[in-house]
Structure 1
């Protein structure tokens, strides 16, 4: 019984990471109707930026976030202005194709710059990378895992408060619902969309930091992270921030229980639960993803 309790507990901690990595993906879809296929690659880009600061300049990854997060916000602003805003004027699949192309470009640029070797920020965070609270011989809690879960909850809660309690959040929701009407009441749809993308990429930067601290990564690690983020976001209801947390927890618990049943069953169990939830939502008449058709600007 204790083994299964530990599996569930570790699954909750893993689910916190999945919720964190899915946060920006869910936010962008919820407020802009865009599925960002470059999401995982952008997280890996942030991870490499923190790695360079730590390896070459001796900057702690946590202090490095003070440099990387503003840079990610600026990148998000440019991404919206140069790619997303223009692609949304076409067919509803154009932003998907545009971000898919961006992911390929980022992956190959990172490969050209850093090669195929794996990296990790674990050596630069001291005992946090392996520290744990041990309750019994078979029940323990990772310090980094708890921190990841706490950050995920705080980030999702902060985004929820931003959308519901601030003027910027109300503007973002107005543009998301009807950009033309929002423009009639003085909301700059272009600037608001750029701000939303900048916020989303800040969350991606945080996710990239925890990706690099908890495991190894390489230039092509983004595709796998995108899959986990997509599954967590869809299981919780794409666009729902608190649903993203629930989806991440379900995915993490499923993977850990699958690993207990069979050492090779971790990913299979996660994908299986995702498909079950997907089919259940579909048969219940709740399409997990609805593409939003927008009129050309």
Structure 2
């Protein structure tokens, strides 16, 4: 049963990786930008949630609900003001810009929060697990992360398939020039895609 347990735990961990990869793939697939600061934004979101919890004493779930929309707004504004302008110069410029953002975020977090490790206080949930068999148990935290990833990915697929802005995002991802000719405001669409990417990375963080 050890191999079954390893497979199950790997699947649970895959849910977390899917959350991280979701935003990265959207930004690259639609805007054609490799965000080198993607992981740093996830860590920044986690620290921001930690600040929200420590100052307002709200539950972790509510902190995530607060931080994710803030990051979505940050993604839209950042894409319109920073990423889009660097794209207008050269696609390679975005690599320098996102790398610079990565360095800034890392050093800012080091200054304000030090190099000490921090964690969310979720009580007994951190060690609680669902025992499936005597040899197999699944941690509730891992299960929550996996379910969140599945729900988020399904919701995102439905959004891209069944909404007008979702179809515009797919059109811009397939052919930006044709989308512009068809009347799609690609800059706005890119901003929405960046908002989704940053919102998902905040949830992952």
TM-score bracket, shorter-length normalisation: over 0.9
Matches within 5 A, 1:153-232: 153-208=150-205
The CA deviation at 1:39 is 0.6
2:136 to 124, 133, 139: 139
Q: For residue 98 of structure 2, what is the aligned residue in structure 1?
A: 99
Q: For residue 228 of structure 1, what is the aligned residue in structure 2?
A: none
| RMSD of equivalent CA atoms | 1.4
The CA deviation at 1:163 is 1.5
Count the aligned residue pairs: 205
TM-superposition CA deviations, 1:117-169 (whole Å, max 9, x none): 11011x2x222211101234431111111111111111111111222211001
Q: Mind listing any 5+ residue stretches in structure 1 that lack a counterpart?
A: 209-297
Q: For residue 21 of structure 1, what is the aligned residue in structure 2?
A: 20
Give the Cα separation in 2 of the matches to 1:191 and 1:135: 47
| TM score, norm. by length of structure 1 | 0.66
SS of the counterpart of 2:130?
strand
Q: For residue 80 of structure 1, what is the aligned residue in structure 2?
A: 79
Q: For residue 10 of structure 2, what is the aligned residue in structure 1?
A: 11
Q: Higher helix fraction: Structure 1 or Structure 2?
A: 2
Give the Cα separation in 2 of the matches to 1:116 and 1:143: 28
Matches within 5 A, 1:63-74: 63-74=62-73
The CA deviation at 1:183 is 2.2
The CA deviation at 1:203 is 0.3
The CA deviation at 1:180 is 2.9
Q: For residue 112 of structure 2, what is the aligned residue in structure 1?
A: 113
Deviates more, 1:199-208 or 1:136-145: 136-145
Q: Mind listing any 5+ residue stretches in structure 2 that lack a counterpart?
A: none
Deviates more, 1:41-50 or 1:89-98: 89-98
Q: For residue 127 of structure 2, what is the aligned residue in structure 1?
A: 130
